[in-house]
């Protein structure tokens, strides 16, 4: 089975992002620190969106739709887009499996940390 998506590199490891969630790849964003948070923010299509920092590569911002929310992802180096063998769980590149980058998990991790800071009595 073939699936469309984006291969990314993060700290030497390959990952896959399905095309169904990728909205844009930009190299010209200005990222502003979000006050009191461990993320940034940027302007995309007239809206301020959060930017998660997932790695060392700071050039590209991949805008994805996660749980109906636009989120920028910085730190992933886009390598190749197109059709690959695989499915939404991952792809095959050079005869090796490439796992899907779980952006929903990363976003939920950030949300949980924020709730713990804002409402410490709940933890």
pLDDT 10s digits, 66-79: 989 999 999 999 99
Q: Which two structure tokens, joined as six digits, stand for 37? A: 């948070």
Among the ranges given (15-29, 68-82, 100-114), the one the predictor scored with the smallest mean pLDDT: 100-114
The residue-averaged pLDDT of 48-73 equals 91
Q: Do 42 and 61 form a contact (C-beta atoms < 8 A)?
A: yes
As a whole number of angstroms, the distance between CA 57 and CA 76 comes to 6
CB atoms within 10 A of CB 85: 13
Model pLDDT, residue 120: 56
Q: Which two structure tokens, joined as six digits, stand for 49? A: 């969106």
Among the ranges given (15-29, 33-47, 76-90, 95-109), the one the predictor scored with the smallest mean pLDDT: 33-47
Phi, psi dihedrals of residue 44, rounded to the nearest 5°: -135, 120
Q: Which two structure tokens, joined as six digits, stand for 110? A: 């950030």
> Residue 81's pLDDT band (boundaries 50, 70, 90)?
very high
Q: Which two structure tokens, joined as six digits, stand for 62? A: 């991949």
């Amino acid at each position: 089975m073939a699936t469309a998506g984006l291969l990314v590199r993060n700290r030497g490891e390959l990952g896959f992002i399905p095309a169904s969630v990728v909205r844009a790849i930009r190299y010209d964003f200005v990222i502003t620190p979000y006050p009191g948070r461990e993320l940034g923010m940027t302007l995309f299509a007239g809206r301020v969106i959060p930017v998660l920092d997932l790695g060392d590569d700071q050039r590209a911002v991949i805008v994805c739709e996660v749980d109906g929310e636009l989120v920028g992802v910085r730190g992933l180096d886009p390598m190749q887009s197109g059709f690959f063998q695989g499915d939404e769980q991952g792809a095959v590149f050079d005869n090796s499996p490439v796992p899907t980058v779980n952006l929903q998990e990363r976003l939920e991790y950030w949300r949980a940390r924020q709730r713990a800071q804002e409402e410490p009595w709940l933890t």
